[in-house]
Amino acid sequence: MTTTTTTAEMTGAPARRQKTLLGYVPNVSPFYNFHPVTRLILFLTLGVVPLFIYIPEVNMFLIILNLILLKWGRVDLSRLRIYLPVIVTVAIFMGTVVVLAPGEDPSFTPIDLGWVTIYYQPVFFTFAAYWRLIAMLFGTILYFSINRERDILVGLRSLRLPFIASYVIGLSIRAAGMFMEDFRIIREAELARGLDTSAMKFRDQVKLYMMYLIPLFSISLRRADEISNALFARGYNISGKVAGGGERLDYIRSLYPMTRTDWIAIILLVTIFVIIGIAQMGFGVFAITNSPLEQFMRQWLNIPPA
């Protein structure tokens, strides 16, 4: 069920958010005018296309594009700070590895920094790889920021994912939420009994968290029985057969009609994806050597073209 946004809503105060397991999604967003499968294809485009693109400037542009889309979609950008540690530490890790283990190749150009010697080619390659990774990450962030769990499942089922597969995915997402809720309840019960984790050593805290998993796994066993009983009571069986032997209808998906805008968007996105794929795989258009930055760096460091 898409939410139709009015002009007033779109230009008014920031949208309020709805908590999902996968993050926060705005209550109102222009993205909700698009079918979930359109949003899924947008994700597949923005989240996969960087694999074909070795030019860091293009991936930086994709990241900015993602940020613009997030802003347009009325997503609260302050929530992105939970990804900052990963973004920073990936950079540190990749940088450290390429400095300490650059590999050996006679064509590598050494650059003496005084305290360490680095090699231009693997460093720039790692730099480009980093931006590819972050561009793909932002594609994923965009997708989970503009889709509730139901939208994700409708999108997958629209691509003809078998019902049992989409059911398992939906139940997994729900199970993750239940698991975290159970964890919170166990923690609160312990806190109510006077447990003070801040006074514990890190090692003891790790042990404590690990011990929580025992009751959590036990609860899951009980839940498996309960849910399978509930599925039986609702007439579901492992074969997925429906009464009368006919095709299983998908009522919820029927509530999401595809519009002309959706078809135009999908055709556009698929075309862009295919063009980029062919351009790179067939003609190397997005090869690292075509990066203006790379060319500038070679000129500046007097390194001959590759």
Partner 1 sequence: MSITIENLEWKYEHTTEFALRGINLEIPENSFLGVVGPNEQGKTTLVSAISGLIPHSFNGIYRGSVKVFGEEVKDAEAVHLASQVGLVFSDPESQFTAMTVEEELVFGMENLGYDYAKIKERLEWAADITMISSLLDKSPYDISGGQKQRVAIACVLAMNPRIIILDEPTSMIDPLGKQFIFDILRNLKEAGRHTLIVVEHNIEQLAPLADQLLLMHEGEIAKLAPPDEFFEDTDFLLERGLYVPEVTVFGHWLRKTGKLPPAQKLPRSLDDAVSLTRTALQAKGGTA
Partner 2 sequence: MATATANTENVWALEEGEVRKPGIVHVVMLALFTGIGIVVGTFGSLAVPIGFVSAFWPGQAVQSIGAVWFGWWGGIAAALFPLLSNSLSGSAPLPVSIAYLPGNLLQGMVAAWAFRYFKAHPALQTSKDWGIWILWGAIVPNAIGAAWGSTMLVGFGLITQAAQFTTFLGWFIGNTIPTIILGSIVLKYVSPLVIRSKAFCKEYWA
Give the residue among 298, 302, 300, 2 at the shortest CA–CA distance from 146: 2
Closest CA to 289 of 143, 59, 125: 125
Should residue 67 be labelled a site residue for partner 2 when binding is judged by CB under 8 A? no
100 binding partner 2? (CB under 8 A): yes
The residue (of 125 and 167) whose beta carbon lies closer to partner 1 is 167
Asked if 237 touches partner 1 (CB under 8 A), the answer is yes
Interface with partner 2 in residues 68-87 (CB under 8 A): 82-83, 85-87
Binding map of partner 2 across residues 134-163, x = CB under 8 A, - = no contact? --xx-xxx--x-------------------
Q: Does 114 bind partner 1 (CB under 8 A)?
A: no
User: Which partner, partner 1, partner 2, none, binds residue 72 by CB below 5 to 8 Å per kind?
Assistant: none
Tell me how far, at minimum, the Cβ of 256 lies from partner 2, in Å: 22
Token pair 């036990």 in the structure block, residue: 218
Angle at 159 between CA 156 and CA 161, to 5 degrees: 65
> Distance between terminal CA atoms of the chain?
53
The residue (of 216 and 259) whose beta carbon lies closer to partner 2 is: 216
Residues 17-46 that bind partner 2 (CB under 8 A): 22-23, 43
Q: Is 226 in the site for partner 1 (CB under 8 A)?
A: yes
Cα–Cα dist 89/109, whole Å: 26
Mapping DSSP onto H, E and C, the string for 28-70 reads CCHHHHCCHHHHHHHHHHHHHHHHHCCCHHHHHHHHHHHHHHH
By CB under 8 A, is residue 170 in contact with partner 1? Answer: yes
Site map 230..259 versus partner 2, x via CB under 8 A: -xx---xxx---------------------
Distance of CA 132 to the CA centre of its chain: 14
DSSP state, residue 129: H
Beta bridge partners of 111: 118
CA dist., res. 22 & res. 24, Å (int): 7
- What's the rounded Cα separation, in Å, for the pair 42 and 267? 11
Q: Stretches 7-15, 71-79, 171-179, 258-266: which one binds partner 1 (CB under 8 A)? A: 171-179
CB 52 within 8 Å of CB 174: no
Q: Is 303 helix (H, G, I), strand (E, B) or coil?
A: coil
Q: What residues from 253 to 292 belong to the interface with partner 1 (CB under 8 A)?
A: 254
Given 9, 57, 149, 182, the residue binding partner 1 (CB under 8 A): 149
228 touches partner 1 by CB under 8 A: yes
Q: Which is nearer to partner 1, 37 or 288 (CB)?
A: 37
Q: Which of the residues 101 through 120 are near partner 2 (CB under 8 A)?
A: 101-104
As a three-state string, the secondary structure of 146-184 is CCCHHHHHHHHHHCCCCHHHHHHHHHHHHHHHHHHHHHH
Rule CB under 8 A: is residue 98 a binding residue for partner 2?
A: yes
Measured from the CB atom, the residue of 61 and 183 that comes closer to partner 2 is 183
Which does residue 249 touch among partner 2, partner 1, none (CB within 5 to 8 A, set by kind)?
A: partner 1
- Spatial contact of 94 and 162, defined as CB atoms under 8 Å apart: no
Q: Which residues bind partner 1 (CB under 8 A)?
A: 1, 148-150, 153, 167, 170-171, 173-174, 177-178, 181, 223, 225-237, 241-246, 248-252, 254
